[in-house]
Amino acid sequence: MSKCEQCIVREFSSLKALTKDELLRMAECKTTKTIKKGEVIFEEGENVNGIFCIKEGVCKLTKLSSNGKDHIVKLVAKGELLGQRSMISDEPVNLSAVALEDMQVCFVPKNEVMGFFEKNNAFSMNVMKTICGDLKEADDLMVNLAQKTVKERLAYTLIYLYENFGNNPDDSLHIQLSREELASIIGTATESCIRLLSDYKKLGLIEISGKKIILRDLAKLRKMTE
């Protein structure tokens, strides 16, 4: 059994406020799962009844739009938690979570986490701060994207992927999104996204090799988002 007190998730999430005894209790009740690339962690409308701690990997959070397409709301990486808001509000999750690469996640049941929430003030404050931070991030992103052109939104997204998830050894972006997924994030048709990427390539801003994208001129990309 992996020790929760030594886990990376604890260092970067609201779990850092838990006491040693609470972490030991959590280690005893959690279940660890391997999620393969493309697999669903949970679906929109599901009653999750707990939280997921991401030990390894990255997933996308998506929202089903009225036209039946999934819109990517956020990417979530190791060290973060999933399901805190729905657990506190006692509602089904309002987003779906799908693995973008192979993942290791731990699931902690709601009754155990709520016990910590009720007895440990520092932990409950951390959870609330995280939820507030997520709301602020969502507000900032909504305004930011609403004020930018699709061309600027693509530059913003490529820089976001680079700054938050880094590169592979061959300098390509570590998170390899499909053209459809990129289009979903920037709010345009897949064909438009493909054309924009082609324009970026002609301008020498990026290099494309299959699904891989290499950023060749970060300074110009950043300038486009200002």
Query: CATH code at 57?
Result: 2.60.120.10
- Regarding whether 198 and 125 lie in a shared domain, the answer is no
- CB hemisphere CA count around 95 (13 angstroms): 17
Q: What is the DSSP letter of 83?
A: S
What are the backbone dihedrals phi and psi of residue 62, each rounded to the nearest 5 degrees, phi first? -125, 155
- Assign residue 36 a region: left if phi > 0, alpha if psi is -120 to 50, beta otherwise? beta
- Regarding whether 14 and 45 lie in a shared domain, the answer is yes
End residue of a domain, out of 118, 145, 172:
145
- Regarding whether 138 and 165 lie in a shared domain, the answer is no
Confidence grade of residue 102 (pLDDT, cut at 50, 70, 90): very high
Q: Answer yes or no: are the C-beta atoms of 56 and 120 closer than 8 Å.
A: no
What are the backbone dihedrals phi and psi of residue 71, each rounded to the nearest 5 degrees, phi first? -105, 125
Q: What is the pTM of this model?
A: 0.86
The alpha carbon of residue 26 and the mean position of all alpha carbons in its chain are separated, in whole angstroms, by 23
- Regarding whether 153 and 109 lie in a shared domain, the answer is no
Q: State the CATH number of the domain containing residue 170.
A: 1.10.10.10
Give me the chain's average pLDDT, please.
91
The alpha carbon of residue 193 and the mean position of all alpha carbons in its chain are separated, in whole angstroms, by 21
- Regarding whether 75 and 28 lie in a shared domain, the answer is yes
- Regarding whether 45 and 70 lie in a shared domain, the answer is yes
Over the Cα atoms of the chain, what is R_g?
Answer: 19
Give percent of the chain with pLDDT exceeding 90: 69
Q: What is the pLDDT of residues 51-69, one digit of tens each?
A: 999 999 999 999 988 777 8
- Regarding whether 93 and 184 lie in a shared domain, the answer is no
Confidence grade of residue 123 (pLDDT, cut at 50, 70, 90): very high
Number of structural domains in the chain? 2
Range of the domain at 218: 148-224
The answer on pLDDT for 141 being more than 80 is no
- Regarding whether 50 and 136 lie in a shared domain, the answer is yes
Mean pLDDT lowest for which of 11-15, 84-88, 96-100, 142-146? 142-146
Handedness of CA 8, 12, 14, 20 (dihedral sign): positive
The answer on pLDDT for 1 being more than 60 is no
Q: Euclidean distance between the first and final Cα of the chain, in Å?
A: 48
- Regarding whether 139 and 38 lie in a shared domain, the answer is yes
- Regarding whether 139 and 155 lie in a shared domain, the answer is no
The better pLDDT of the pair 158, 6 is held by 158
- Regarding whether 130 and 39 lie in a shared domain, the answer is yes
The better pLDDT of the pair 90, 10 is held by 90
Q: Distance (Å, rounded) from C-alpha 123 to C-alpha 102? A: 29
Q: Answer yes or no: are the C-beta atoms of 100 and 37 closer than 8 Å.
A: yes
Mean pLDDT lowest for which of 4-8, 119-123, 142-146, 216-220? 142-146
- Regarding whether 31 and 127 lie in a shared domain, the answer is yes
End residue of a domain, out of 102, 128, 145:
145
Confidence grade of residue 211 (pLDDT, cut at 50, 70, 90): confident
Q: Answer yes or no: are the C-beta atoms of 197 and 188 closer than 8 Å.
A: no
The answer on pLDDT for 3 being more than 90 is no
Confidence grade of residue 2 (pLDDT, cut at 50, 70, 90): low
End residue of a domain, out of 145, 162, 182:
145
